[in-house]
Amino acid sequence: MRSYNQMGAEAVGDLRRHNRGALPKLNDEQQANLLQAIRGVAPDGGLWNGRKVANYLTEVLGTPVSRQQGWEYLKAMELRLRVPRPQHQETDLAEQEAWKKSCTTRWNRYRSSIPTPTSRCGVKMSTASECNP
């Protein structure tokens, strides 16, 4: 009410549209450097994640950056954490391939033994659209 009395009808609407928000932490050059760093090897030799990006940005900017903000930069650059699937240490690849081949052979034999559905009289049944002219 007070703002209407002071500014008139302009104060009635939502004034947040004039708020442009916070300035980005990184300029274009810093974003390019971050992308180049991420495409390389992580400092500890592992994979990049939100914490490692945050540590990198903390060193570059001189101000603390949260792990979540590091993850947001990874997502903004359309990158994601890629971790290979774990494998058993006693894996025998030849045995796995042999099992896959025998499994598909058994599946094909099983699938061919399943009868295909037909109508009771053995004739293809018409649909409702074929009956109506």
Residue-wise pLDDT tens digits, 38-97: 888 888 888 888 999 999 999 999 999 999 999 999 888 887 666 677 878 888 888 888
13 near 3, Cβ under 8 Å? no
Residue 101 pLDDT grade (very low, low, confident, very high; cuts 50, 70, 90): confident
The predicted structure's pLDDT at residue 70: 92
Q: What is the distance between the alpha carbons of residues 18 and 112, in angstroms, rounded to a whole number?
A: 68
CA 116 from chain centre, in angstroms, equals: 40
Burial class (CB in 10 A: 0-12, 13-18, 19+), 67: middle
| Nearest one of 80, 59, 58, 60 to 71, comparing CA atoms | 80
pLDDT at 69: 93
Which region holds residue 98: left if phi is over 0, alpha if psi is between -120 and 50, else beta? Answer: alpha
Report H helices in 26-127: 28-39, 50-61, 67-76, 93-112
Better pLDDT: 118 or 89 = 89
Q: Which of 1-5, 50-54, 97-101 has the lowest mean pLDDT?
A: 1-5
Distances (CA, A) of 125 to 63, 114, 115: 74, 21, 18
Residue 66 near residue 85 (C-beta atoms within 8 A) = no
pLDDT band at 123 (very low <50, low <70, confident <90, very high): low
What does the pLDDT read at residue 117? 66
Q: What is the mean pLDDT of the chain?
A: 81
**pTM recorded for the entire structure:** 0.50
Please determine, for residue 133, whether its predicted confidence score (pLDDT) is greater than 60.
Answer: no
Q: For position 81, what pLDDT does the model report?
A: 63
